[in-house]
Structure 1
Amino acid sequence: MQDLLGHLRSGQVCYSTPQGAMISGDSLELLAQLPANSVDLFVTSPPFPLLRQKAYGNEDQQRYVAWLTEFAKLAKDALKPTGSLVIDIGGAYQRGLPVRSLHQYRALLAFVDDVGYRLAEEFYWYNPSKLPSPIEWVNKRKIRAKDAVNTVWWLSKTDDPKADVGKVRVPYSKSMERLLQDPQRYYTPKDRPSQHSIGEAFGRDNGGALPSNLLSIPNSQSNDAYLRACKALGLSGHPARFPIKLPSFFIEMCTDPGDLVVDFFGGSNTTGRAAEDLRRRWLSFELDRAYAAESVVRFIGDQAPAKVLKHIEQMTNGQVLAIDDSA
């Protein structure tokens, strides 16, 4: 990891762990400094082009695609031939109209047509705990349904990126569990109307079902350890976070222990925490030094509050915190 950090000349390390480092700096500059063919997986969620300006710096809809494509180009140069870019992009409405923006689809076309990525597969993250929005169209006038799905593009540098869906199996349904207990009672092998043949292997226990490309993952304050830690410390925390299960899914599917995972819109460093837990090396880039420093609560949130706050203040002022396995 130290050899890799030596290439990153423009950023400042806020803190490091046995597996990775959170770096404060301009992601465009940092991405350009990553060695070619060095990254196994990028997992990130950029600021969305929302109509109301947010504190974390969301981009205007009109220039969003061109802005985001700059990052995608640099990420492609740093990817290994077997590497992937997974990018979560939420939707939005056009200003003053109950009509959707097409920015996430235009971004996908730009990534594929202009940059040269392959679309390995499209995923949709369903957040059942998402609040109804926008208020005008959903709550007040009731002319649109709640927007509860984000598009997640899984892009690759070549046609055959590293991936194993068997590593991200999901629990069987109750009916499937009953079938596995007594296959002959609940199911007789036969051809389906589509002429697809289902044989004896259908009743085999593989340790879980293969996942679909619809990922149902709640993102609520009640299950957010980061936000609970921030609240206990009197910190506001980063306002835009994705749940740790989202990056974990792609990290497990697309990488092996020891591989390098990078998030170039680090925010509260959900990706870094997920990579650390899964024994992957990681780097997280965040422009805002305060957000980068506060994200350390994902790693030392169980320490005494006064000690954590002191570490955050020191990092905000430019010091580096080294977190070891016992921290």
Structure 2
Amino acid sequence: MSFSDQFFRALDVAPGDRREINAFAERSGVPVARLRHYNDANILPSGEDLPRVLAAAGITELELMLAMGRLSRETLNAIQANAATIAKLLEPQPASDAQPQTATAAPRIALETDLGRLYQGDCMDLMPTLDSDSVDMIFADPPFNLKKLYPSSIDDNLKTERYLEWCESWLTECIRLLKPGGALFVWNLPRWNAELAAFLNGRLSFVHWIAVDIKYSLPIQRRLYPSHYSLLYYVKGPQARVFHPDRLPMQVCPHCAGDLRDYGGYKAKMNPKGVNLSDVWWDVSPVRHAKYKRRNGANELPLKVLDRVIELSTDEGDLVFDPFGGAGTTYMAAELKARRWLGIEIGPTDDIVRRFTELEQDRKILANHRKELNALFPTEVLIARERTGWWTTESIRNKPRNVKNNLNLG
């Protein structure tokens, strides 16, 4: 779907001609500012603006919707009913003077371990060379189109439609590569994942929109404070082949290890293995300290996120693919968790290679994280609660029925 001035073009108004835009605004009675908003955001007019625009342009609502690529369910149903006829009209004709495409050089191998391989190059040069239905899980963390300067010198300031077209191109390849039952995770801003979800909904099965609670650096004027990233979770086929999420410890006071909420008569029903993982991940901290950063001058994903995703959706020996290497967190998590892995990074790969030479640092971080999982109270918390008289799963279940729940038991 193209966004570039489709609204003005449908009205037969030159997008860069101020006089034409002003004239149409006067003729339709719709202010210039609103006309520009409809054009720049590719949003259909509504309310009283819609009939005014249609009358001034001499077109129907259906023509405007088709020109802007904003189709209603009713229109889509009509297109489906006439698919054969429409396909003949839209089928591209082969050019008689088309030149044969030249083969692109294969990306070079930058790192290889017993479990994985990292390439340096463009993911769109690598993915077409991989077999269909060959990957168990894909985690994608693409550039967010925020005008950032990357070492690879990629253009991170694309027009909306160009960015979405690019995302759809690599997502199409990801979908092809996934095995039936395989999982796809897409990490991005809610702004972009809202668009990408619409594309994925017609190709994979939606499982979750996961909100990962990580604060942005600064508030943004005239907007709510942005405090989460979006992680889309889809599977290929009707259900996931693997689904075994970690369970989390119960939240307690960091000072006294006491309850932060009243569990009433439900304490005895609490699972000693921990609390169910939800689709809001509140326990992820950004990688800010220089001691833990593996990538100079750019954000990087916490190891906790990739550990959780890999644990949730794969078994040991499964193949994990990440088309945007970044700091190499996906590959490191896969390596430490005995998964096979494959990846590519378009920019310099020195930081990733160096990270693998210091693998024990990440192993220690992962071990410290995992010792807190799959128990309602990790060991240190359990000791603190027993010392201060708070209830534990053992104490609450072994309590005689005629003894009331008191003295710090709730």
TM-score where L is the length of structure 1:
0.68
Query: Matched residues in 2 for 1:43 and 1:302: separation?
Result: 21
Does residue 31 of the first structure (1) align with residue 127 of the second (2)? Answer: yes
Q: In structure 2, what is the Cα distance between the partners aligned to 1:270 and 1:285?
A: 12
Over 3 Å counting, the alpha-carbon distance change for 1:126 and 1:12 in structure 2 is same
Q: Which amino acid aligns with 1:132?
A: L
**Which has more strand, going by share of residues?**
1
Separation in 1, partners of 2:359, 2:318? 27
- 1:77 deviation in Å? 1.0
CA distance in 1, matches of 2:297, 2:241: 32
| Cα distance in structure 1, aligned partners of 2:351 and 2:258 | 47
2:345 aligned with 1:286, yes or no?
A: yes
Are 2:248 and 1:170 equivalent residues in the alignment?
Answer: yes
Matches within 5 A, 1:103-252: 103-113=192-202, 116-128=203-215, 130-134=216-220, 137=221, 143-165=222-244, 167-174=245-252, 187-188=264-265, 202-205=269-272, 207-216=273-282, 217-222=284-289, 225-227=292-294, 237=296, 239-252=298-311
Contact 1:83 1:157 in 2 (8 A): yes
One-letter amino acid matched to 1:64: Y
Q: Measure the CA separation in 2 of the matches of 1:67 and 1:117.
A: 18
Q: CA deviation at 1:223?
A: 7.2
Unaligned runs of 5+ in 2: 1-103, 361-410
Residue 64 in structure 1 maps to residue 192 in structure 2? no
Q: Structure 1: which 4+ aligned runs deviate by more than 3 Å?
A: 186-189
CA distance in 1, matches of 2:298, 2:141: 13
RMSD: 2.7
Distance in 1 (alpha carbons) for counterparts of 2:212 and 2:195:
19
**Alpha-carbon distance in 2 for matches of 1:59, 1:298:** 29
List gaps (5 residues or longer) in structure 1: 1-7, 92-101, 138-142, 180-185, 190-199, 231-236, 304-327
Question: Cα distance 1:258–1:152, how it changes in 2: closer, same or farther (>3 A)?
Answer: same
CA-to-aligned-CA distance 1:210-260 (integer Å, 9 cap, x gap): 111111211132276234xx6xxxxxx251311111121110000001100
Aligned counterparts of 2:148 and 2:310: Cα–Cα separation in 1: 31
Q: Which of the residues 301, 324, 327 maps onto 1:265?
A: 324
- Whether 1:297 and 2:375 are equivalent positions in the alignment is no
Instruction: Determine the structure 1 residue equivalent to 2:333.
Output: 274
Deviations 1:182-236 (A, max 9, x none): xxxx7546xxxxxxxxxx972442x111111111211132276234xx6xxxxxx
Tell me how far apart the structure 1 counterparts of residues 114 and 357 of structure 2 sit (CA, whole Å). Answer: 13
Tell me the CA shift for residue 178 of structure 1: 7.8
Cα pair 1:47 1:59 within 8 Å, conserved: no
Q: Which has the larger radius of gyration?
A: 2
| Structure 2 partner of 1:5 | none
TM-score relative to the length of structure 2: 0.55
Conservation of the 8 A alpha-carbon contact between 1:238 and 1:268: no
The CA deviation at 1:90 is 1.6
Aligned partners of 2:233 and 2:270: how far apart in 1? 31
Q: Percent identity?
A: 23
